[in-house]
Amino acid sequence: MSLPRFRRSGRAKEPAIQVGDPRLDGWETVVTFEDRGTAVAWRDRLRELGVDACCVADSPVDRFGRGDVYLVVPPGQWSRANEIVENLDD
């Protein structure tokens, strides 16, 4: 009996935090976080609500996931992202 082969997607998985990605130059910072977990959770929430969000950093976070992580969005989506971040606690 042969085992089924699982195909990997041809796309590489996007890293949780982008470091030095020129495609994100010009994107605007919505908020800054001090740890990877919180930043990625906010990024995922914005994406669920239809905002193109990414996490970026100037340098890689440490082994504990700490560092300056910026939640960024394209310039045309900054107002919506900012509104969501400010009102999500309500």
The domain of 47 spans 18-76
pLDDT over threshold 80, residue 83: yes
How many CA within 13 A on the CB side of residue 83? 7
pLDDT over 90 (residue 10) = no
Please give the average per-residue pLDDT across 53-63, as a whole number: 95
Q: Does some domain include residue 6?
A: no
- Residue 85 maps to a domain: no
Tell me, yes or no, whether 4 lies in a domain: no
Q: How many domains does the chain have?
A: 1
Mean pLDDT of the chain: 88
CA dihedral in degrees (40, 49, 54, 66; nearest 10)?
Answer: -20
Q: Is residue 5 part of a domain?
A: no
Residue 2 pLDDT: 58
Give the pLDDT confidence score for residue 15 in this predicted structure. Answer: 87
Does residue 39 lie within any of the structural domains? yes
User: What's the predicted TM-score (pTM) here?
Assistant: 0.81
Contact 18, 55 (CB under 8 A): yes
